[in-house]
Amino acid sequence: MIEWMLDCGYIRRDITHANDAIASLVQGGRLDLMQQIVLLHSPPREQASLCLHSWWNAIKQACEQGYLEMLQWLMDHPLGRELRRNMKAHRKYSHLIRLAGQNDQAEIMGYLYEQGGAEEAEQDPIVIRKYADELRVAIRYDRCNPVKWLVENIAFPDLGHPGYMIINITTKFRRFNILQLLHELGSSKSLI
């Protein structure tokens, strides 16, 4: 349908169709068509530009779906760079990293961490607490890849009671594969 709208010129004439199409194309992983749409509206015309809100939604969907190449393109595009200017101040990198983790997308988690998530984690203890919450949820739902990524990349300082809860959650939900993973990573002592 979007290809037909492109061919007929609807997307070129109406920026609303372009914004809607971008959101739809992420779900199908169609970076090629997304790039065509952006070219149609570059440089932005006065009073009619691609919406930052649509761009942000596309970034979130790319994180959920695991489309790393698309995410990189979205983040590197001028609209993505505009969004990135305020992402750390509003804990958006950690939000996207957790979103990727909820969808078992460890590769996306790593990319976002390199782009700004590491600095966010260093500067804001609330971010670490949210990662600890995400670790517990990932264990509960048996998401080994995010568990491994979180344990390898996030410095959970003296987890104390939450660490005890992590071991309890692992055993309560019979996630012995994750318990084994924690042991293999050499982190079981730091989590108890």
How many C-beta neighbours within 10 Å does residue 187 have?
Answer: 19
How many C-beta neighbours within 10 Å does residue 78 have?
Answer: 13
pLDDT averaged over 10-residue windows placed end to end, the chain, 192 residues: 76 80 88 87 60 92 97 94 87 95 97 95 90 92 95 76 70 92 69 48
pLDDT of the residue at 191: 52
Q: What is the pTM of this model?
A: 0.83
> CA–CA separation, 33 vs 39, rounded Å?
10
pLDDT of the residue at 161: 46
pLDDT of the residue at 150: 94
Preceding peptide of 43 cis, ω within 30°: yes
pLDDT of the residue at 49: 62
pLDDT of the residue at 40: 80
